[in-house]
Structure 1
Amino acid sequence: MRLNSFDEWSPLREVIVGTAKNYTSHERELSFDLFFHDNIVQDNVVRSEWRYPRLAVSSDAGEPARSSIKQRYVDELNEDLEGIVKALENLSVQVHRPMDLDPGTAEVRTLAWSAGVVPALNIRDNTLILGDEIIETAPMIRSRYFETRLLAPIFAHYFKQGARWTTMPRPIMTDASFDLSYAHASAGGPTEPISDPQPSPYDVGVEMMLDGAQCLRLGRDLVVNVSTENHASACDWLERHLDGRFRIHRVHRLSDSHIDSMVLALRPGTLLVRNEKVADFLPDALRKWDMIVAPPPGPNSFPVYDEDDLILTSPYIDLNVLSVSPDTVLVNEACPELMRVLEKHGFTAVPVRHRHRRLFGGGFHCFTLDMVREGGPEDYLG
């Protein structure tokens, strides 16, 4: 089928589901700790200090630290991903998978830095599907710089069917590329001063960076979370690129980056939100929609982890559901309270297992990229 995806809820026909094969570690460097800043500060307080290792600008500079991931977690995650695939196929959705990361590929290198590489798991992040266009967004984490290459065969398939295929300008991602104001202003703050980034011969100043998961797609309207100058510059690019086709609505610092564990659109007129305060950030037209407040996670919602296991998401990660149609939603089976709430509002909640979402930074919406939905460029906010 031809690429067609304008919203978050229309009947889903084709989707990509990510993979965690050969996932071994998280590289603790500037871009990673900035991206996960809020959750690293709030959910790892009993763990050893977190810091920002610098880019290696000379041979005697220290190497960034890596936080290992236990193999049993990776194995169980891959089991759960296969369960997601099966659940979607049982709902008549065609599933595509990225290329696996070769175990011999240990790192990525550019002119300015090197970083450990990770597989294409949270594939919502580095790609934005708008109608008949694939937009590879400007990455925010160095280790994921070439992640979309693992999806290139799938993108090429849709391109051959007539899809547009665009790449945002790629950031160089030296220390000077990052706007640090959010990390400085939010709770906790870094333990190592980072107000004086280390120079690089490739510095070009603050650059555009944006993840697709910062965007809420509503037909011809796009709501974009902007928390830094990096996001604002990328949103400027989107506005010019999409001029005449889509309307951009900026929300400011709804979260540090992604919007899809704060608010999701389940169908026209209905939002799933973390709390009622979310409405204060939204465009006026969206504040008129019904808002289902997700129940707080229960005491037994998550596995118990060791002190050396790095937690990357908030306890509200299970709000990150995936709509298969306006009345059918994939929900983590560990969240019966959320399923009951959704069922009271007329949804069919399909329970699917996903154990280690807090260790790998994503839920069902993060792990998937919807390529074909039945909806079109409707005006839901007019």
Structure 2
Amino acid sequence: MQLNSFDEWSPLREVVVGSALNYSSHERELSFELFFHDNIAGDNGAGRSEWYYPRLEARDAAPSAGGTRVPVKERYVAELNEDLQGLADALTSLGVTVHRPTDVHPTTTTVRTPAWSASVVPPLNLRDNTLIAGDEIIETSPMIRSRYFETQLLKPVFQEYFRRGARWSTMPRPLMTDASFDLSYARSSTAGGPTEPIEDPQPSRYDVGQEMLFDAAQCLRLGRDIVANIATHNHALGVDWLERHLEGRFRIHRVHGLSDSHIDSMVLALRPGTLLVRSQAVVDMLPKSLRSWDAIIAPPPDQDSFPTYEDDDLVLTSPFIDLNVLSVGPDTVLVNESYPELMRTLERHGFTVVPVRHRHRRLFGGGFHCFTLDTVREGGAEDYLD
């Protein structure tokens, strides 16, 4: 089928599901610190006095060329891959054609550019680095160095859609030196602040100043309209590019500081006129035309529904990661089976809920929406906003 995806809810026909095969480590360096910095200590539950992950000096990790490499336990990766296969199977059972990216080869451990090196991350959270805008694939400017070449592992899928007539574009690739990053949000945010300071960036011969760094998961797609979250000058530059590139085809609506980056664990559109949101405060920050939609406020997640981790495990997301659901139609939603509170809430609003297992969502920074890239839906360029 031809590439066609304008929104988050129309009947899903084809999707790409991510892979975590050979996931071996996280690399703690400037881009990683900035990307995950907005999780406060309270989100990580009792017993964790640190911010969203333990302090560098508190762990035994070997330094790499780009930062401090923190191993990921093999048992977590094995269970994650089991759950990803379960997600793929659930989608197949609902009549959705599932594609998978190329797996990272076990010998591919490092990505290098002239300016830096970092450990490689598998193509797991596919939503982050690719925006599907109708009939166009847009590879966005990566925000984490480890993920710089991640979309290369989607090339076979993209190539096939291109052969069928899809447009295919790539945002400018950033140099990603330390000077590329706008540190103001991390230094001024009232969300809690880091336990470790974000140090002054180090100069590089490749510095060009702050660059566009923008993830597709900062966007909410609503037919002809795209809501884009901006928290830094890096994001603003990315949205500038997106507006110019899509001019005449899509309307971009900017929201400021809804989160530090991604918004798909803050707000998702489940069908025309209905949003799933973390809180009323999120609704109040949305464009005026969206505030009139019905807002389903997600119930607080039960802390006991999450695995207990060891002190050296990096907890990267808040418990609200399970808001990251995937709609396969305007009335059918895939929800983590460990979040029965949300399942009951959605059922009361007339949705059919498909429970799917996902155990280690807090360790790998993504839910079902993050793990998938919907490439073919039945919807078109409709006007849902006044």
TM-score by length of 2: 0.94
1:20 corresponds to 2:20:
yes
User: Is the Cα–Cα contact under 8 Å of residues 227 and 256 in structure 1 kept in the other structure?
Assistant: yes
Q: 2 CA distance for matches of 1:152 and 1:63?
A: 26
**What is the count of residue pairs matched by the alignment?**
374
Deviation at 1:272, TM superposition (A): 0.2
Contact kept? 2:111, 2:119, Cα under 8 Å: yes
1:152 and 2:155 equivalent? yes
2: CA distance between counterparts of 1:62 and 1:112? 11
Partner in structure 2 of residue 178 of structure 1: 181
CA distance in 2, matches of 1:301, 1:377: 39
1:261 paired with 2:268, answer: no
Amino acid at match of 1:49: R
SS in 2 for 1:79: helix
Asked if 1:130 corresponds to 2:168, the answer is no
Tell me by how many angstroms 1:39 deviates: 2.0
Aligned residue number for residue 212 of structure 2: 208
Q: Determine the C-alpha separation between the residues in 2 that align with 1:109 and 1:90.
A: 40
Note the C-alpha offset of 1:190: 4.0
* Partner Cα distance (1:285, 1:314) in 2: 28
User: What residue number does 1:108 align with?
Assistant: 111
Where 1:300 maps in the other structure, the secondary structure is helix
Q: In the TM superposition, what are the counterparts of 1:87-106 in structure 2 within 5 Å?
A: 87-106=90-109
SS at match of 1:37: coil
Deviations 1:73-106 (A, max 9, x none): 0000000000000100000000000000000001
Change (3 A) 1:288 1:71: same
Instruction: Report which stretch shifted further, 204-213 or 41-50.
Output: 41-50
1:2 aligns with 2:2: yes
CA contact (8 A) 1:322 1:365 kept: yes
- Give the Cα–Cα distance (whole angstroms) in 2 for the partners of residues 78 and 94 of structure 1: 19
**Cα–Cα, structure 1 residues 40 and 151, in superposed 2: closer, same or farther, change >3 Å?**
farther
Distance 2:123 2:239 in 1: 24
> What's the RMSD between the two structures over aligned residues?
1.5
Instruction: Give the superposition deviation at 1:66.
Output: 1.3
Change (3 A) 1:221 1:300: same
**Unaligned segments of structure 1, at least 5 residues:** 52-59
- What is the CA deviation profile of residues 266-288 of structure 1, one whole-angstrom value per residue up to 9, with x for unaligned ones? 00000000011111110000000
Structure 2 counterpart of 1:135, which letter?
I
Task: For 2:296 and 2:373, locate their aligned partners in 1 and report how far apart those are by CA, in whole Å.
Answer: 24
Q: How does 1:1-382 map to 2 (within 5 A)?
A: 1-39=1-39, 43=44, 45-46=49-50, 48-50=54-56, 64-186=67-189, 187-194=191-198, 196-382=200-386
CA contact (8 A) 1:39 1:311 kept: no
- Structure-1 separation of matches of 2:64 and 2:303: 43
Quote how far apart the aligned CAs of 1:196 are: 2.8
2:70 partner amino acid? S
Q: Distance in 1 between matches of 2:369 and 2:331?
A: 16
Write the deviation string for residues 323-343 of structure 1: whole angstroms up to 9, x where unpaired.
Answer: 000000000000111111000
**Which stretches in structure 2 are left out of the alignment for 5+ residues?**
58-62
Amino acid at match of 2:106: P
| Structure-2 separation of matches of 1:50 and 1:331 | 34
Report what 2:60 is aligned to.
none
For residues 161 and 108 of structure 2, the distance between their equivalents in structure 1, rounded to whole angstroms, comes to: 27
Q: Structure 1 residue 185: deviation in Å? A: 1.2
SS in 1 for 2:86: helix
Contact 1:33 1:40 in 2 (8 A): no
Judge conservation of contact 2:186–2:198 (CA < 8 Å) in 1: no
The 10-residue stretch of structure 1 (193-202 or 244-253) with the greater mean CA deviation from structure 2: 193-202
Q: Structure 2 CA distance, aligned partners of 1:315 and 1:325?
A: 25
Query: How many Å apart are 1:212 and its aligned residue?
Result: 0.6
Question: How far apart in 2 are the matches of 1:316 and 1:184?
Answer: 24
Percent of residue pairs identical: 73
Q: Distance in 2 between matches of 1:30 and 1:195?
A: 8
The code of the aligned residue for 1:18 comes to G
**Post-superposition shift, 1:192?**
4.9
Tell me, in whole angstroms, the C-alpha distance in 2 between the residues paired with 1:335 and 1:62. 40
Q: Which amino acid aligns with 2:170?
A: T
- TM, length-normalised to structure 1: 0.95
Asked whether the equivalents of residues 136 and 166 of structure 1 are also in contact (C-alpha less than 8 Å), the reply is yes
1:353-382 per-residue CA deviation (whole Å, 9 max, x = no partner) reads 000000000000000000000000000002
Quick one: distance in 1 between partners of 2:199 and 2:234?
16
2:181 maps to a residue whose letter is F
Q: Is this contact kept in 1: 2:54–2:314, CA < 8 A?
A: no
